[in-house]
Structure 1
Amino acid sequence: MNFRDLLKLSLRTFKARTGRTALTILGMGIGISAILFLVGLGYGLQKLLLETITTSDSLSAIDVSPNAENNAKLSRESTEDLGRLEGVADIAPAYDLGAQIKYKDIVSDATAVITKPIFLKLDGKKISEGAALSENGNQELVLATSFSKSYNEEPENMIGQEVSFSLRIPKGESASGKKETERLDVEKKFKIVGFFESEDLSFFANMKDLEGIVPPIDYTRLKIKCAGNANLDGLKNEIAGMGYTVSSLSETVQEVNKMFAGIKITLALFGLVALLVSAIGMFNTMTVALLERTKEIGIMKAIGASDTHILLMFIIESTAMGFLGGLSGIFLGIVSGSMINAMINFVAWRLGGKAISLFSYPIWFLLFVLFFSIFIGFLTGV
């Protein structure tokens, strides 16, 4: 008996017992789709979170803050020394200052971040409306989207409008240890050129626009961009050895990946319960098929079929059902995920929110699911 004959005999059940076979494949598909739906949700949420907090530039950036215990300050001289370290491609110091910003007749308390334009990229800030700060400095501001919500105006309507603001400049500590500040009114008018997504009332201004206005005080923090071939961890250790407090977004990404690895495993275990039930259903179908074909098997053995041929016939049949169950499961999982995503985005759109993608299906995972369903079918046949 050749392989073609075995294949014809194995697949004959798809015509002879179409209803039962279809239900078995559907049951397998539902189990696979449950795993795909839940794990795809885990991958989607992970991707959504990482896209929100990271950019390609921010992953190669190091955050440096002063350390009072080590008397490590971010003065202009020490910042220049850091910029000369091997592996440093760029450096963006920043002042984080208390501020009051006046838009039309509305005055709001805010945080002013006075820095270089590249700081926004290194900090993972994405411009949602308008443009980023220009390098030359044209008296521009980039505001958090929370300002538009606070003023009940659309961001696009605020772009091009002029605002004024004042800063709170640190003046040391009083005898009681309380930090003192001095109000500094910025006489220039600044133009709103863009918005970034944030719930905090904060804005960015170019250092060049405030040269000669902000006195020479120590920086609050700075971002260091690593050169492409630089060792990020090695550079972090070197800067930490100089007494500064050092961190990077790559550490956060690693923690997020670890957290979601556990979440995806947990979701997959829930899906495995449904798959186990469907596998039992397939096993039951194959058992019934064996009992129904006892006479047929006897005739086949009488005309020369071996036990191996009989076993292969059932393995081919169950593996084919596993393959079709995997395909139907992938289809059902993606379709159900797309429907849920569409409903959520519709609600978000009605409430004024933005569309998001909650599900993600890596190609390797889809292939793994398909081969896993084939393997389950194979085991059932054995």
Structure 2
Amino acid sequence: MKFPDLTELALRNLRESLLRNSLTTIGISVGVASLVAMLSLGTGLQQMLSRRLEKSGLFDTVFVSSRRDLRGGRQEERSGPTPGESRVLDEAARVEMEHLPNVKEVYPDIRFSTELQFEDKPHLTMISALPLSAKSNDSFDGMQGRFFSSDTASEVILQKSFAEELLGKTPPLGQPEPSVAELAKPLLGKELIMRYAQRAEGGDQTTVPGPENQESETAGASYSVVSREQKLTIAGILDLDPESLRGPMRARVFLPLGLAENLHVMQLVDLREVSRAASKQPVYSSISVRVKDPSRIQGVEDAIKKMGFTTFSILDASRSLQQVFRVLYAFLGIFGSLALIVASIGIVNTLVMAILERRREIGIMKAIGASDGDVKKLFFAEAGAMGIAGGIIGVVLGWAIGQVINFGTNVYLKSQSIPPEHFWAVPLWLVGFAIGFACFVSLISGLYPAGRAAKLDPVQALRYE
């Protein structure tokens, strides 16, 4: 039997029992819709997380630190097989990293705990320095006020929780929080006084300020520590936290990187590292290296490891994240496929009923020369047609369900002053997979009816009324 004749016969048979076949197709489409809705949720969540990480600058950033364990002073080879003495992470190392291929930007991770005075009240907090390129971080999208006017401006950006602390508006547990706009109005443009410890050039001794600004002396290093003050203007207030991944070490106040470098703030760097430095140049606890192309990040990591440093990037964590999403896809796919498997039972029932109704027709076909294979092809064509139709309708229905839920979710988020998100995504591969899987299940369901129809005795079938 030729393919055009086979297609024409299959479509004609489906039209003759339109109601029953339509209900079977709807059952298939519901199963496909549940599968598409489940997998599109997983895909949307993965894409949303990837967008956030990419916009935060984590996908193109390598975090570099010394291999020396600062707690015990011993060597650790946590990120590379290269043996030997670890290097000091100083200005010379930073400049060397700047000249590596595919490197876009290298800047030190300057963070320190200090006291900020606002309206004659002291507040202890962690401060971090940010480069001007951090403006593209999505944490600054909903900021009240503005970003730093320059890399050396005497300005700060406050995280929402610290702004609440300054105004004494930290809400009790379970109570609604004040909005960023409410906090910004009394704070923007106001001044803070930062008191910090400055590392200054010294002789053969380290001078450390004691109580009441008296100095004590400790031998062994060539710098001095003096107490300084710096006036800072509040430029902006953040709702989101750009350092949420740092846990307890995350900062609540942010300075321009250039200003922080000019202040020469004493950081939490082990004195052993300072004593190992070849000159009086700054020594850093860690450095961030941004690459031009995220696909080149592995090569940059390998080059930095060969220099004698420990590296970490989100690429390392993303491998584990991808495994988590693979497991999530598997679970969502299994639950989404259950409805489609149930619908396959309806296909078997429909085609078996078709055999009983068309026994005489099948007998005539076999009597005039149709082979068992032709009969099987006919029933496979009918099952495949229902599977393709149900798959297409199911994809559209699953996409529509996702859009409705996404719209409702964003309406709620907007009412809570939270930026909207896109939680559902239906990529082309999912469209093709859903239609193909529906067709495959339909053909599998047609195996038994097709085999039963092919085994009919034409003599007995022609006697059937």
In structure 2, give the amino acid aligned to 1:40. Answer: S
Q: Secondary structure at the match of 1:59?
A: coil
- The residue number in structure 2 matching 1:307 is 372
Decide whether the 8 Å contact of 1:101 with 1:110 is kept in 2.
yes
What are the ranges of 5 or more consecutive residues in structure 1 without an aligned counterpart?
Answer: 176-180
- The residue number in structure 2 matching 1:24 is 24
Which residue of the other structure, out of 240, 243, 254, is the alignment partner of 1:204? 254
Which residue of the other structure, out of 239, 242, 260, is the alignment partner of 2:304? 239
Q: Percent identity?
A: 24
Decide whether the 8 Å contact of 2:131 with 2:151 is kept in 1.
no
Distance 2:392 2:121 in 1: 59
Decide whether the 8 Å contact of 1:164 with 1:190 is kept in 2.
yes
Which residue of the other structure, out of 137, 142, 151, is the alignment partner of 2:152? 137
Decide whether the 8 Å contact of 2:105 with 2:289 is kept in 1.
yes
Higher deviation after alignment, 272-281 or 142-151: 142-151
Decide whether the 8 Å contact of 1:315 with 1:378 is kept in 2.
yes
- Do the aligned partners of residues 250 and 143 (structure 1) sit closer, same or farther apart at CA in structure 2, a change above 3 Å counting? farther
- Do the aligned partners of residues 241 and 91 (structure 1) sit closer, same or farther apart at CA in structure 2, a change above 3 Å counting? same
Distance 1:105 1:22 in 2: 77
Higher deviation after alignment, 139-148 or 245-254: 139-148
Distance 2:158 2:102 in 1: 32
Give the CA deviation at 1:324: 0.9
- Do the aligned partners of residues 145 and 292 (structure 1) sit closer, same or farther apart at CA in structure 2, a change above 3 Å counting? farther
Q: Secondary structure at the match of 1:54?
A: helix
Distance 1:213 1:229 in 2: 32
Distance 1:332 1:282 in 2: 20
- Do the aligned partners of residues 73 and 128 (structure 1) sit closer, same or farther apart at CA in structure 2, a change above 3 Å counting? farther
Decide whether the 8 Å contact of 1:94 with 1:116 is kept in 2.
no
Give the CA deviation at 1:219: 2.6
Q: What is the TM-score of this pair, normalised by structure 2?
A: 0.70
Decide whether the 8 Å contact of 1:141 with 1:193 is kept in 2.
yes
What are the ranges of 5 or more consecutive residues in structure 2 without an aligned counterpart?
Answer: 76-85, 170-177, 200-205, 209-215, 219-224, 245-249, 267-281, 448-465
Which residue of the other structure, out of 221, 226, 229, is the alignment partner of 1:185? 229
Decide whether the 8 Å contact of 1:166 with 1:183 is kept in 2.
no
Matches within 5 A, 1:349-368: 349-368=414-433
Give the CA deviation at 1:274: 2.0
Distance 2:100 2:253 in 1: 30
Give the CA deviation at 1:326: 0.3
- The residue number in structure 2 matching 1:278 is 343
Distance 2:262 2:7 in 1: 85
Say whether 1:154 aligns with 2:191.
no
Decide whether the 8 Å contact of 1:286 with 1:380 is kept in 2.
no
Q: Secondary structure at the match of 2:22?
A: helix
- The residue number in structure 2 matching 1:128 is 142
Give the CA deviation at 1:380: 2.8
Decide whether the 8 Å contact of 1:101 with 1:164 is kept in 2.
yes
Q: Which has the larger radius of gyration?
A: 2
Decide whether the 8 Å contact of 2:30 with 2:394 is kept in 1.
yes
Give the CA deviation at 1:61: 1.9
- The residue number in structure 2 matching 1:9 is 9
- Do the aligned partners of residues 135 and 62 (structure 1) sit closer, same or farther apart at CA in structure 2, a change above 3 Å counting? farther
Higher deviation after alignment, 1-10 or 295-304: 1-10
Deviations 1:131-186 (A, max 9, x none): 544554333333435456665343597385334142543889999xxxxx986431
- Do the aligned partners of residues 295 and 103 (structure 1) sit closer, same or farther apart at CA in structure 2, a change above 3 Å counting? farther
Deviations 1:105-146 (A, max 9, x none): 88654321124323566x885543365445543333334354
Higher deviation after alignment, 264-273 or 352-361: 352-361
Q: What is the TM-score of this pair, normalised by structure 1?
A: 0.84
Tell me the C-alpha RMSD between the 2 structures: 3.4
Distance 2:115 2:13 in 1: 77
Which residue of the other structure, out of 73, 93, 103, is the alignment partner of 1:78? 93
Q: Secondary structure at the match of 1:245?
A: strand
Give the CA deviation at 1:304: 3.8
Distance 1:154 1:368 in 2: 45
Deviations 1:3-37 (A, max 9, x none): 44433321223332222111111111121112111
In structure 1, give the amino acid aligned to 2:42. Answer: G
Decide whether the 8 Å contact of 1:58 with 1:124 is kept in 2.
no
- The residue number in structure 2 matching 1:36 is 36
Higher deviation after alignment, 144-153 or 21-30: 144-153
Which residue of the other structure, out of 305, 316, 319, is the alignment partner of 1:254? 319
Distance 2:196 2:22 in 1: 72
Decide whether the 8 Å contact of 1:41 with 1:360 is kept in 2.
yes
Distance 1:104 1:154 in 2: 20
In structure 1, give the amino acid aligned to 2:402. Answer: G
- Do the aligned partners of residues 103 and 314 (structure 1) sit closer, same or farther apart at CA in structure 2, a change above 3 Å counting? farther
Distance 1:9 1:291 in 2: 17
Matches within 5 A, 1:223-234: 223-228=288-293, 231-234=296-299
Deviations 1:92-115 (A, max 9, x none): 112111144456788654321124
Distance 1:82 1:98 in 2: 27
In structure 1, give the amino acid aligned to 2:107. Answer: A
Matches within 5 A, 1:281-300: 281-300=346-365
Higher deviation after alignment, 71-80 or 314-323: 71-80
Matches within 5 A, 1:82-121: 82-101=97-116, 108-118=123-133
Q: Secondary structure at the match of 1:12?
A: helix
Say whether 1:318 aligns with 2:346.
no
Decide whether the 8 Å contact of 1:98 with 1:112 is kept in 2.
yes
Distance 2:262 2:251 in 1: 25
- Do the aligned partners of residues 48 and 109 (structure 1) sit closer, same or farther apart at CA in structure 2, a change above 3 Å counting? farther
